[in-house]
Chain A
């Protein structure tokens, strides 16, 4: 990055790639950097070549990228999240590998696999990716897929807006990915606190990558939240009162509310930092009346609800699977609803506990410390409810139940260390140490990751028509449990020994045994990641023996299990008339659940459109141009977005009509197939005999 800004290429030049660094100086750090960039480039080339070879560009464009179908959008969100998860876990592994080699001596104080600046980029991208581009798309994708089906709706309230949200999230993810190859990422951690991230201390493009990725994807998340909320309030099937909604819908509602009210805070704090960096404002500078503490304040006003945005969908998943795989009705439905809603509201009142040690007086700290401890109560209620749901049930140890068990054991430890940290005086001792790192990984991995993976395993047959291999599913789950324990339990010890988080190097040899254990854990996490992808691959290869055309492989009780697998675009041939909580289970109890509707009507579905794709392209252009100060491209992309919206507003858009005859034909075929398949008992659930038609005499949920 040399002095002048070119009017055409902005700050871009040939010296911004990690290859330049490698040419300048060959060491392990530059090799890792250039290697990561090469993986990105080769991966992109391989992907393009593969799609071209398989002639999949057309189907990809027609069936997926331009589809406004919430179910497909959900799947695309999850695919995006899994790609980013791979990068995030590999980065985590590099972080652990670095620290396992980072013991410095008095003479050579710096040591380890990567350079300190590179290490700072690693933990910054790791955090940013894991929160914003793994956890968020995972949960938003899962909600997109499941929510309309559970509510008895055919689609989201705003299908095209949904597409735009996905596009914006993908644009943000693309910016973070591009930063591997072009330029550097910020070094301020995933929170990017000023004044360090202000223009004076971080002049380069790194913080800008973060800012624009967050701004763009954050807008997408806000819009998603509105979409979810409107869908839940307006699109429920007739008879689906609020208190008849499955618990996953309730937690989705909480998530929607929190997205709507929390995401704007992040947008505001990021925009203020953008103004500081681009337009010489002084919101967070040290001089000229700025106050950097306000950044921490606004950021965590978003950041704490965000934690519960991440965890609540997992709680919803656990509510569904604990009931289904125990063959029992969910224990304490009302208490779970109240607990979820309490969490959603209380989560807005605790944000200061993220910066207890940043200078407030004791009174302020105590107020927020107490609020923080209170939020543990509804969470505890939920854990007991799930345990009571499983109590004396006939629990089948499927992969989701392995995740659930791991969650029970580990999440409670994470929650308890959270209660410890909620005490400001203890927080003063362990803040900014790896104790804290261990704590939040301890709630996020067993909570969010296990929950989302359990949910993917649970609903996968609904999306693709075949089950995931249970053996490999359980292996993956056990590897994630083991990997977590080995990686993060040592960090609790290290934190108590006084090791600061984000240390590129240290001089205390006592840390080393724990570092090695953590590195072993990181290897296990890598194995878990490989095992996860292997599960998908091996299940795909065995898809015929794992096929569940009957659509109800787990003897479920919520509406989505009444449709075939894979679920057709229209989900339900007729919008169901809901008469009870867990309506599908009620139908099973009444006798013949697979009754065909009396008559069929034409179904209106939103037509395919490239709107979301175009907006995503414009947003990516805008972000990239702003990062590199390519003003003409920035102005063009910025104007393109309202232009595209106006253009769509000017056109008459006809919905896609699926005729009654077509629906009738497909639905009759499904009913006949169900009648011809032999019902599978619980004992046969994992075998080839499970064709998605359960033995309803066994249903007890």
Chain B
């Protein structure tokens, strides 16, 4: 830790590029939001609509992290922050995915044939 990494902006980052980054983020977010609404309003089959919304949502999250929260693979602090976010996401994915894997398996074996059998099978998580 030869220089303070307290989240200060790099001095070479001038204000103009900062503003540009925020502006791009804002426009992209706006487009993605409009896109999601368009997917609902258009006559798409519901599966496709849901897929479109999910993709738009993911892209929206990435835009926010990148343009507003300054996470990126370049530069000391933002890289560290990004790695931290990715690490958290992967651990949460392990926990959530593992829970889904285990509980759906158990749900299938515990409730099948019982009165709540079909409901439990359709919603394996709880």
Contacts and interface: CB of A to CB of B under 8 A. Distances in A.
Interface of A: 233-234, 236-241, 261, 265, 289, 291, 293-294, 297-298, 301, 348-349, 351-352, 358-361, 363-364
B126 A348 contact: no
A301 B98 contact: yes
Contact of A301 (B1, B5, B95): B95
Interface string B106-126: 110110000010000000001
Contacts of A359: 106, 109-110
Contact of A291 (B88, B95, B107): B107
A349 B94 contact: yes
B2 A294 contact: no
A212 to B, nearest CB: 24
Nearest to B106: A293
A237 B2 CA distance: 9
Contact of B94 (A289, A291, A348): A348
B interface, by DSSP: helix, strand, loop or mixed? helix
Given A297-B103, A301-B99, A364-B102, A291 B2 contact: no
B18 interface: no
Nearest to A264: B95
Contacts of A289: 116, 126
Given A236-B1, A361-B105, A349 B98 contact: yes
A373 to B, nearest CB: 17
Given A240-B1, A301-B95, A349-B98, A293 B126 contact: no
16 contacts: A236-B1, A238-B2, A265-B95, A291-B106, A291-B107, A291-B110, A293-B106, A294-B126, A351-B98, A352-B98, A352-B102, A358-B106, A360-B102, A360-B105, A361-B105, A363-B105
Nearest to A242: B1
B43 to A, nearest CB: 37
Nearest to A345: B91
A294 B101 contact: no
A349 B102 CA distance: 12
B12 interface: no
B5 A234 contact: yes
Contacts of B17: none
Given A234-B5, A241-B1, 14 more contacts: A236-B1, A237-B1, A238-B1, A239-B2, A261-B88, A293-B110, A294-B99, A297-B99, A297-B102, A301-B98, A352-B98, A359-B110, A360-B109, A363-B105
Interface string B2-14: 1001100000000
A364 B101 contact: yes
B95 A348 contact: yes
Contact of B91 (A238, A239, A261, A297): A261
A348 B90 CA distance: 10
Given A291-B126, A364-B101, A348 B1 contact: no
Contacts of A237: 1
Top 8 nearest A-B pairs by Cβ distance? A236-B1, A293-B106, A364-B105, A261-B91, A360-B105, A348-B94, A361-B105, A297-B102
Contacts of B101: 364
Contacts of A352: 98, 102
A358 B95 CA distance: 19
A348 B91 contact: yes
Contacts of A293: 102-103, 106, 110
B122 to A, nearest CB: 13
Contacts of B5: 234
Contacts of A291: 103, 106-107, 110, 126
Contacts of B98: 301, 349, 351-352
A289 B126 CA distance: 7
Interface in B27-47: none
A129 to B, nearest CB: 27
Contacts of B88: 261
B99 A298 contact: yes
A265 B110 CA distance: 24
Contacts of B2: 238-239
Contact of A360 (B91, B106, B116): B106
Interface in B61-88: 80, 88
A237 B105 CA distance: 50
A294 B103 contact: yes
A361 B109 contact: yes
A349 B126 CA distance: 21
Contacts of A361: 105, 109
A351 B97 CA distance: 13
B90 to A, nearest CB: 9
Contacts of A348: 91, 94-95
A88 to B, nearest CB: 30
A353 B48 CA distance: 39
Contacts of B110: 291, 293, 359
Given A294-B103, A348-B94, A364-B102, A234 B6 contact: yes
Nearest to A294: B103
A297 B107 CA distance: 13
Contacts of A236: 1
A658 to B, nearest CB: 23
B88 to A, nearest CB: 7
A144 to B, nearest CB: 21
A405 B114 CA distance: 56
Contacts of B95: 265, 301, 348
Contacts of A364: 101-102, 105
A261 B90 CA distance: 11
A289 B116 CA distance: 8
B87 to A, nearest CB: 8
A349 B101 CA distance: 12
B15 to A, nearest CB: 27
A301 B95 CA distance: 7
A454 B107 CA distance: 46
Nearest to A301: B95
Residue in B80, B94, B95, B110 with the greatest tally of chain A CB atoms within 10 Å: B95
